């Protein structure tokens, strides 16, 4: 397992990253990325920490240490321990870094158990399992096509989508673009596939691919969105932007311009069935919802604490309505921790590994996008104007002429002005800044299209037989009576009562 220093060194590899028209030479030393990179490095160092390492790591069957979520789970206890490891890493960013290295372990930890699923590339799957468990590389993923003209069928946009443009004895050449590479500039590899691959016409399946590509491979280019970390440094200080200045997972469009992919990095080639099935057939959807639900629960722990401290600072914690709102957020927090526990405790076995329960994972996918906006709304209603009654920056407190006014007019209930403003700025960064707005969009769309996550929940009920059981349950109630009354002796029909009278 690499440590933080080795992780950062691995990013200094001549990768091509663009931001604000500039080609970034070293993301580990650039103000747009450096603190986020160090936040990830902190996670790698935690693997080697004496205390945190006990929670985070385990020994593989081959005898080497790894992060618990990277290791094949054999039973529910393995999943519960992996859940605790996921939570431990998530706590290091207070739940605000969603696509940390353990996210892609949702996929890689099953590569050995489901190796034969990848027709013709089973050995590659096994080798990537061994590599990822030993090294714990940071892998981002891009499976969505750029939103160009979605009114057109796939084959009319084939020049945009990632596809194989040439086959060689030693691999394939791919071209196209993918979105959205969360934290891509800070990762070692990009996992590329297609969500809902189709024949492009005339038997063309050139975009039905699954492969890994190093971020410094010739032809790989990352086009970053604006950096909230850099904005935070430009406009203020950590006092003003305590979250965005260190936890911004900069999203990027990944351009693959005639990139060579050696065969050993390929898991599917021109195979629509394999590409479309790996989400469900290999347990990826079970695991990424497990990781996501746990991370979201940690984030809600943090938000509950923020809301409690905000109401204490305002002197409103004893108000009935305020307490009711805090209770609501606590209930949300409890629900997602319960879902996380239930996913592990009620796991199912497949190919010798324990899969987190998918019904509860589907519930997380549907509920989280509704809960986060509601939590944000509660903050806006309860903390209200306190989020705007803030000085422009920490520099205001350093101005001797201004400081007495701040100390008098910005203080709270049992808390000084500096401490109250520090707290309020933390809350505003979580929900009100551009960083906060991105997090709302992220949580709403994290697990997929808002309709698909509901449709897939219905499909799971159909496949598991739950739909038939639900209807049969209703039938059992309908069968209790007919036009003449109750059909059994448990209840007395009105007609019989009348006759007796």
Nearest Cα to 409, choosing from 418, 422, 400, 398?
A: 418
- CA of residue 418 relative to chain centroid, distance: 34
Token pair in block for residue 171? 């691999």
165 is in an annotated binding site: no
3-state secondary structure 131-165: HHHHHCCCEEEECECCCCCCCCCHHHHCCCECEEE
234 is in an annotated binding site: no
3-state secondary structure 261-310: EEHHHEEEECCHHHHHHHHHHCCHHHHHHHHHHHHHHHHHHHHHHHHHHH
Rounded Cα gap, residues 315 and 322, in angstroms = 11
141 is in an annotated binding site: yes
Nearest Cα to 109, choosing from 90, 77, 131?
A: 131
Q: Is there a cis peptide before residue 180, judged by omega within 30 degrees of 0?
A: yes
83 is in an annotated binding site: no
143 is in an annotated binding site: yes
The SS3 call for residue 487 is coil
The dihedrals phi and psi of 20, each to the nearest 5 degrees, come to 55, 40
The length of the chain, given as a count of residues: 501
147 is in an annotated binding site: yes
Residues flagged as binding site: 141-143, 147-150, 182
Residues flagged as binding site for FAD: 141-143, 147-150, 182
């Amino acid at each position: 397992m690499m440590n933080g220093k080795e992780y950062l060194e691995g990013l200094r590899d001549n990768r091509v990253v663009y931001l604000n028209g500039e080609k970034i030479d070293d993301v580990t030393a650039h103000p747009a990325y450096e603190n986020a990179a160090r936040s990830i490095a902190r996670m790698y160092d935690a693997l080697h920490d004496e205390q945190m390492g006990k929670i985070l790591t385990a020994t593989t069957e081959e005898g080497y240490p790894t992060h618990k979520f990277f290791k094949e789970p054999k039973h529910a206890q393995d999943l519960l321990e992996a859940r605790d490891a996921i939570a431990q890493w998530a706590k290091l960013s207070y739940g605000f870094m969603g696509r940390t290295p353990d996210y892609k372990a949702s996929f890689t930890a099953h590569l050995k158990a489901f190796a034969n699923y990848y027709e013709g590339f089973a050995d590659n799957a096994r080798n990537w399992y061994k590599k990822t468990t030993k090294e714990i590389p940071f892998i981002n993923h891009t499976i969505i096509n750029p939103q160009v003209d979605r009114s057109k069928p796939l084959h009319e946009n084939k020049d945009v989508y990632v596809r194989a443009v040439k086959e060689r004895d030693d691999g394939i050449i791919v071209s196209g673009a993918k979105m959205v590479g969360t934290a891509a500039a800070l990762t070692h590899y990009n996992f590329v596939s297609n969500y809902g691959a189709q024949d492009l016409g005339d038997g063309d399946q050139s975009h039905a691919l699954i492969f890994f590509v190093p971020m410094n491979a010739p032809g790989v280019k990352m086009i970053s969105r604006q950096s909230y970390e850099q904005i935070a440094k430009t406009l203020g200080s950590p006092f003003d932007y305590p979250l965005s200045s260190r936890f911004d997972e900069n999203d990027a469009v990944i351009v693959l311009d005639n990139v060579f992919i050696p065969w050993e990095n390929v898991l599917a080639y021109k195979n629509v069935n394999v590409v479309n099935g790996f989400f469900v057939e290999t347990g990826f959807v079970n695991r990424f919802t497990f990781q996501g639900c746990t991370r979201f629960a940690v984030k809600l722990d943090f938000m509950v604490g923020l809301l409690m401290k905000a109401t204490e600072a305002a002197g409103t914690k004893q108000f009935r309505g305020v307490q009711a709102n805090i209770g609501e957020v606590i209930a949300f927090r409890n629900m997602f921790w319960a879902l996380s526990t239930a996913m592990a405790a009620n796991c199912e076995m497949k190919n010798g590994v324990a899969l987190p329960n998918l019904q509860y994972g589907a519930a997380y996918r549907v509920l989280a996008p509704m809960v986060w906006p509601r939590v944000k709304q509660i903050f806006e209603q309860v903390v209200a104007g306190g989020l705007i009654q803030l000085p422009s920056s920490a520099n205001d407190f350093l101005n001797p002429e201004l400081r007495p006014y701040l100390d008098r007019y910005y203080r709270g209930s049992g808390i000084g002005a500096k401490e109250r403003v520090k707290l309020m700025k933390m809350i505003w960064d979580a929900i009100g800044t551009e960083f906060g707005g991105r997090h709302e969009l992220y949580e709403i769309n994290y697990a997929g299209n808002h309709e698909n996550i509901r449709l897939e929940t219905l499909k799971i009920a159909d496949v598991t037989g739950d739909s038939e059981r639900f209807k049969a349950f209703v039938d059992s109630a309908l069968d209790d009576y007919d036009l003449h009354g109750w059909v059994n002796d448990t209840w007395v029909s009105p007609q019989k009562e009348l006759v007796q009278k």
